Structure 1
Amino acid sequence: MINRNLIRIRVVQLVYAWYQNTNRDLRNAEKELLFGLQKSYDLYYFLLLLMVELTDTYQNRIETKRNKFLPTEEDLHPNTHLIDNKFILQLRENKQFQKQLAERPMSWESNEAFIKSLLDEILSSETYKEYTAIASPSYEEDQEFWRKTFKQFIYVNEELDDILEDECIYWNDDVEIVQTFVMKTIKRFSPKNGDKQPLLPMFKDEEDKEYALKLLHNSILDEKEYRGLIEKHTEKWDFDRIAFMDLIIMQVALTEIFTFESIPTNVSLNEYIEIAKSYSTPKSGTFINGILDAIVQEIKKEKRIFKN
């Protein structure tokens, strides 16, 4: 689940922090990297848990209304599609889901007001009305309801973003990417897998974990080589006045270009230009593109890299 885009962002942030810190310890930096990536993976489960929490809140609301002194007909015979939703029942019983929550406990308890407000918004929506109009929803219809609901009410939700930022400092940069993985997970669920439905692993494979550590390690240890190349190609600018974040992004980008032969150069360039657009100045993307492109042309001509 932790893709290379998330890894690149986290490494850029850590290399930036490395130069702000007087007590520099590479092992601590590597631990911090893995800890941050673990927190990104926790967010994936926290968002899966949100759907279960919304279901539980609805069930509690139904029970409260049924036990009123003078319950209405609607109170006594509510629509139970949400409670009986076969996708949520399967998610709740999922072995991997239960194991993760047991090992790394998490809860939405402190955000009760948000849960209730979000539930009200869902229950008053056309998506919910269309869902409850189905006499007896199939598994696919239950699944589709949550896919639509997540996309409509949870994905890019500003109030939710604020809550997640308060919950964990690492989540602010991860929310949108992790939410796309949750939607993919909903779509991948199949009733035939029962409680053994595979959820996304933290890393696709061991190679991605090694990529993360090597990218951080080499970005720091090979600083002189990459800074030298950058300084050589920024003669028209006052090197000391280049935005520090731009310098870090280029340093990490060059580390990837030199270190990982399997990653095409244009992929590396595009990814770090996008990072610059989000994490540095408005003109950084264009500036970094020009400098890195010039460096790449030179090192190709000198045959210091052998890839596309």
Structure 2
Amino acid sequence: MLSRRHLRVKVLQSLYALQAAREADYQLALDFISESFRPDLNSMTPQDPRKLEGMRKMTTLLLEENYRKGDITQDEDTPPAAFVTAKNALRYYQDLFKKDKQRISRQLTPEVEAIYNTYLLLLQLFIELGALSQGERERQYDDPDNKPLSKVAGFDTNRVVIALTENKTLENEFIRRGITWGKETTGLVRTLFRDVFRNDDAYRAYCETKEHTPEEDLQLMLNALKEVILKNEEVVTFFELNDLYWSENGDLARKMANKSLKSTIEETGLQLVPLTDDWEEDRFFMEELFEQTITRNDEIEQIIAEPLKNWDLERLAPMDYLILKMSVSEMMSFPGIPVKVTINEAIEIAKEYSTPKSGKFVNGILDTLSKTLIKEGKIRKSGRGLLDNK
């Protein structure tokens, strides 16, 4: 199950992707200017390389000074060619960035929901392994290409696999979300069973004993998931191709799967783990935090500029800057979240995703900013947001 911290990290990753896109788009706008003033080797009119280079520099400066304002005005000293080219470069940059913003914004929620799909896919994988195990045990002859495997037990006799296979709620969830190890991955699952588990010492030992305790059944599954499946190169490659943040999301999906696997031997029976405690509310928080941080970007940057005026911004870790922007946005946009909660979450995220000293740095800046913003009335809390964890 994902916590609000996980959601904040997802927003941070999207903001980082957007920042990278912004820089790439700006570079493309500069390339547009350079191309506009490149000497035309096919022209019959003599070209003056020095004049063209001067125009390129002037146009580049025009764009640099005005692109954040969103418009370029012409003064008397600006050559028409430089003005028109800068104007076109700005429009080109704005169009590119608008598309990138829309793309990254649209991807945010589906990328988080994909963690839940991966969790379901891991559970379904055990059902597929169970079916292969059953076919193996029912076959009247041994596979000549592999060393014999005891047919006393297998995945299909495992209590946990049986609970997964027989659970109608889980089956309906697979159907509703279109979860399947389809034709393109059938070979992967077969290879995992035939070449990996058939040669795994723990699984082979399990197959040689008919009777197992619930705890032994569960331990086989937990070990298989962590030590075999998620360490298999082909499986990892499959998930990495479908998830840019697999190294992090895979661990979240595994923990969710572990909870469901453990529940199968408890009195409650199989329990599906929701993505969050309240996905509708948490999704709104995530999407709104991302949107507010972008929409209020200029305002937030001005707010942050004051306490950072004595810092060398060139040496400031980019992730620290994004964490500060996101946190200021949260403090001003969510009346129900206490300031201390926002700051503490920012500290922990900075420790994990930025530099060793980032936690202390972020804490100091946000503490100063929060006091100032409260005095100015830019932070207004209500309800739970008034709680202060001193």
User: Which residue of the partner structure matches residue 183 of structure 1?
Assistant: 258
Q: State whether structure 2 residue 299 is matched by structure 1 residue 230.
A: no
The answer to whether structure 1 residue 221 and structure 2 residue 295 are counterparts is yes
Superposition map of 1:63-212 within 5 A: 63=138, 66-68=140-142, 78-102=151-175, 103-107=177-181, 108-112=185-189, 113-120=191-198, 123-125=200-202, 129=205, 136-139=211-214, 141-154=216-229, 157=231, 159=233, 160-189=235-264, 197-205=270-278, 206-212=280-286
Q: In 2, Cα distance between the equivalents of 1:96 and 1:27? A: 35
Q: What's the % identity of the aligned pairs?
A: 27
Q: Residue by residue, what CA displacement relative to the aligned partner does 1:139-186 show, whole Å, maximum 9, x if unpaired? A: 45433442354344456x373544421233243431112211111121
Q: Which moved more, 1:265-274 or 1:206-215?
A: 265-274
**Partner Cα distance (1:142, 1:44) in 2:** 20
Query: Residue 267 and residue 53 in structure 1: after superposition, are their counterparts in 2 closer, same or farther (change >3 A)?
Result: farther
Change (3 A) 1:279 1:152: same
Counterparts of 2:332 and 2:143 in 1: how far apart (Å)? 73
Q: 1:288 to 1:188 in 2, by over 3 A?
A: same
Does 1:16 find its partner at 2:16? Answer: yes
Corresponding pairs, count: 297
Q: Distance in 2 between matches of 1:24 and 1:243?
A: 26
Correspondent of 1:47 among 122, 126, 130: 122
Greater radius of gyration (CA): 2
Conserved in 1, the CA contact under 8 Å of 2:327 and 2:342?
yes
2:331–2:342 Cα contact (<8 Å) kept: yes
| Structure 2 residue 108 is the aligned partner of structure 1 residue 33 | yes
Decide whether the 8 Å contact of 1:2 with 1:37 is kept in 2: no
Q: Does 1:290 align with 2:364?
A: yes
Q: Deviations over 1:99-119 (max 9, x none)?
A: 333342432425344454541
Q: Distance in 2 between matches of 1:62 and 1:158?
A: 24
Change (3 A) 1:56 1:264: farther
**Distance in structure 2 (CA, Å) of the matches to 1:298 and 1:80:** 67
**1:203 CA displacement:** 4.0
CA distance in 2, matches of 1:179, 1:288: 31
The alignment's TM-score, normalised by the length of structure 2, stands at 0.64
TM-score by length of 1: 0.79
Aligned partner of residue 24 in structure 1, secondary structure: helix
Cα pair 1:96 1:198 within 8 Å, conserved: no
Give the 3 Å change call, closer, same or farther, for CA 213–201 of structure 1 in structure 2: same
Query: Is the Cα contact below 8 Å between 2:260 and 2:273 reproduced in 1?
Result: yes
Q: Secondary structure at the match of 2:221?
A: helix
Unaligned runs of 5+ in 2: 23-95
**CA 1:78–1:99 in structure 2 vs 1: closer, same or farther (change >3 Å)?**
same
Greater alpha carbon shift after TM alignment, 131-140 vs 241-250: 131-140
**Aligned equivalents of 1:257, 1:110: Cα separation in 2:** 50
Residues in 1 aligned to 2:344 and 2:223: alpha-carbon distance in whole angstroms: 31
Counterpart for residue 25 of structure 2: none
> How far apart, in 2, do the equivalents of 1:6 and 1:57 lie?
36
Shifted more, 132-141 versus 203-212: the winner is 132-141
Contact 1:39 1:170 in 2 (8 A): no
Contact 1:18 1:24 in 2 (8 A): no
Distance 1:84 1:115, change over 3 A: closer
- Residue deviations 1:66-101 (CA, integer Å, cap 9, x gap): 32499xxx76x6221532112211212323332333
Distance 1:286 1:114 in 2: 46
